[in-house]
Amino acid sequence: MADLVVERPEGLYCPPGDFYIDPWRPVARAVITHAHSDHARLGHGHYLASQASEGVLRARLGDVTLQTLAYGEAITHRGVKLSLHPAGHVLGSAQVRLEHGGRVWVASGDYKVAPDRTCTPFEPVRCDVFVTESTFGLPIYRWCPDDEVFADINDWWSRNVAHSRASVVGCYSFGKAQRLLSGIDPSIGPVIVHGAVEPLNDAYRAAGVELPETLRVADVKNRSDLGRALVVCPPSATASPWMRRFGDAETAFASGWMQVRGNRRRGGYDRGFVLSDHADWPGLLSAIEATRARRIIVTHGSSAAMVRYLQEHGWEAGAFATEYGDDSIEADAQAGSSESVGESVGEGEGEGEGEGEGA
């Protein structure tokens, strides 16, 4: 029988349903797994996404034609039964379950199996074929518990406060920033966020996610507070003129890529915190096993290594070539995105630096 999902120049396509999943070229009908810019792009005629993702999708894409489904709610389109299930990646992230002709396929989008206060936990979905990401699909990637990471961040921040130095953390404005904010101790000092981060904070709060009070630089009345602040901004901002207002600050980057020490040195950061919104190597394998799928199709990341491992351990495995980001720093080129809106901040620099999906 023909596959339920195939590769096309526009993206991953479901032939019987005549729709695409996270397409990278404009199409008539797009099912969106989550609102990161390499998966949710402008230009499609009709969007279908999870109900929980509506706020962040509209913050990023504006007034698009958007249909939403609650997690687990099913619809049938051209004979294909479709439902969305939690992926645990970021707010509203979903796996796409497709059922047709007695077969079940699941396209994971991006996912994380570790607990996260800011989004619905990953839900394994039984299927015949599982299309999985493999961003961190190498055995070296194994995450510490969040509590340990947040304790390290709080300790670093406290030490900097004692020396009247701002603590600037570069992280991606959608997903990673909110997860970081949910775990820090706001009693240590004021929390300042870049203009690219706050609109996404607003969308998270509107969805019922608890975040501490956050300020923009323009809201800080006492300049001495800058020396006690934790500053959360896109990675691009840490090397921009925007940083000058914080004086002798220490910088850090929060990402799964910080598992490799050389990445911190190459980025010029004082600290690296290993915090990822993707599954690590054990998480990927546990998620794959939980699906009970006979066939695995691997997308972006360390796909060749993951396919080889799966084949050696008895799975029928292959790969799809996609144009999703590799979770390095990428430009968010979506015109009109709330992340590209500048903000007057005293010295004339804007807070408009945006970024794409984060690791």
pLDDT tens-digit readout, 62-79: 999 999 999 999 999 999
- Cβ pair 134, 298 in contact under 8 A: yes
pLDDT digits (tens, 9 = 90+) for 117-147: 999 999 999 999 999 999 999 999 999 999 9
Indicate whether 210 pLDDT > 50.
Answer: yes
Indicate whether 338 pLDDT > 60.
Answer: no
Share of the chain above pLDDT 70, in %: 91
Q: 6-134+279-319: what fold?
A: Metallo-beta-lactamase; Chain A (3.60.15)
Per-residue pLDDT band for 187 (boundaries 50, 70, 90) equals very high
- Burial (CB < 10 A; 0-12, 13-18, 19+), residue 197, is buried
6-134+279-319 and 146-276 in the same fold:
no
Q: Which pair of tokens denotes residue 86? A: 């939690």
pLDDT digits (tens, 9 = 90+) for 226-246: 999 999 999 999 989 999 999
Indicate whether 58 pLDDT > 80.
Answer: yes
- Cβ pair 203, 221 in contact under 8 A: no
Q: Which pair of tokens denotes residue 187? A: 């009693």
Per-residue pLDDT band for 353 (boundaries 50, 70, 90) equals very low
Q: Which CATH number fits domain 146-276: 3.30.70, 3.40.50, 1.10.10, 3.90.550?
A: 3.40.50
Domain range summary for the chain, segments of one domain joined by +: 6-134+279-319, 146-276
Per-residue pLDDT band for 277 (boundaries 50, 70, 90) equals very high
